Structure 1
């Protein structure tokens, strides 16, 4: 199954694209969750919410809804993966408020953090068995067989990433996939051309035909992430690929 969503849901410029004027901001999550089956919680990176906040999001979303949680920058950017046990325990203790809505945890590494397979291994060891973890390194030194082996050994997914084109290898290292689409083309900025979305779909189909793949659009300005998510889902359905729900009632769309 391809699970398609966006990185966050609370963007003021999405009013008039996804959210009608009559829907108050305090109800945006409910409105979003009726139209998407998953979201990536990006703001947990900046400030880790309390367990009660996570529990509130559980109660406000329907059964089967999936929340991917971006790990706090305290773990990835302040500690830089050193002494991970306490930050990971805190993250999971709070995110447990999501209950069965909790999906993968994303570790986005700083662009200045060079490869350290030992630190990565120790961090992944801090997560309990069964918790899906995706890792998004952002320094080219991480693209080595040793790093790939660490990810495979822990069943952690290498997060595929695209920013004006692919910026990571497309290794399969786990029983699930994870793709983040940050920024489309310069000509259509920040939108994604349909041809590039098709190429990503082909790669997902070839690599993860037997597994879940989480896809999140992070090109949020002007609601473009929502429109691109709908386009990707439409392309997937046309190709006969299983995909989760996406909106059918966008207020504004963009043509090519």
Structure 2
């Protein structure tokens, strides 16, 4: 089986400390996404977590990057930050219908991130997963779930994710547990422990390890998405570039 594609990126494209450390000095803000598209292969959009965007905004983003680039889109907090996830149907429908399919083939997975206090409730989680559409406006949708409470280590969670074909996020974080489970036709990693004193965010050995994991995930035809998120955010672009170089 042919190897799947590996996409490596950062969170967003507008962070002031990246000016002069990643973007050239005086690089225009209007061309920052274009620059990201030239140097990385993916980005995770966080703005969609806080508010809906216009269809023309997604279309503009897609035009700014080359073919082969991918946008992972973080789902609205109104979908995931609720006591009863099964009641999120209207919010999920509104989120999916906002125009994100204007990204076309550049649309990567949708990230559904849960609060760190959200515990695993099998019936509620099963109902929530059933709300996630497999396509919209003719565009296939892929979903990645990011639980951040240790109760999700329950094998029942991985099994229901596997049956639905949704991924479980692999999180390299000291604040939240890491769940390493193959449940979908792609893998999604959020690497969150970069150190500012290390120029590339992570030491060479750690980056070698991530490269090995990504290659292993993709060897059986699955795509793999790896994002440098949080930690020492100023080092995220350098970490992503260093990982891409290893791949």
Please give the TM-score of this superposition, normalised by the length of structure 2.
0.87
Of 99, 105, 109, 2:110 maps to 105
CA displacement, residues 11-50 of structure 1 (integer Å, 9 cap, x when unaligned): 0111112211242111111121122221110221122322
* Residue equivalent to 1:251: none
CA displacement, residues 35-83 of structure 1 (integer Å, 9 cap, x when unaligned): 2221110221122322232222123222332110010111111465231
Give, in whole Å, the separation in 2 of the partners of 1:154 and 1:142.
16
Give, in whole Å, the separation in 1 of the partners of 2:79 and 2:193.
25
For the Cα contact (< 8 Å) 1:164–1:184, is it kept in 2?
Answer: no
Residue 190 of structure 1 and its aligned partner are, at CA, apart by: 9.4
Of 191, 200, 213, 1:203 maps to 213
For the Cα contact (< 8 Å) 1:67–1:103, is it kept in 2?
Answer: yes
Distance 1:162 1:75, change over 3 A: same
SS at structure 2 position matched to 1:56 = helix
Q: Which moved more, 1:171-180 or 1:18-27?
A: 18-27
* Residue equivalent to 1:217: 228
Is residue 2:47 matched to residue 1:37?
no
Distance 1:21 1:203, change over 3 A: closer
How many residues align? The count is 236
Distance 1:2 1:80, change over 3 A: farther
Distance 1:195 1:141, change over 3 A: same
Of 123, 129, 135, 1:124 maps to 129
Q: Which runs of 5 or more residues in structure 1 are unaligned?
A: 237-256
C-alpha RMSD of the superposition: 2.3
Of 76, 79, 83, 1:75 maps to 79
Of 140, 145, 170, 1:135 maps to 145
Please give the TM-score of this superposition, normalised by the length of structure 1.
0.84
Give, in whole Å, the separation in 2 of the partners of 1:50 and 1:194.
41
Distance 1:51 1:220, change over 3 A: farther
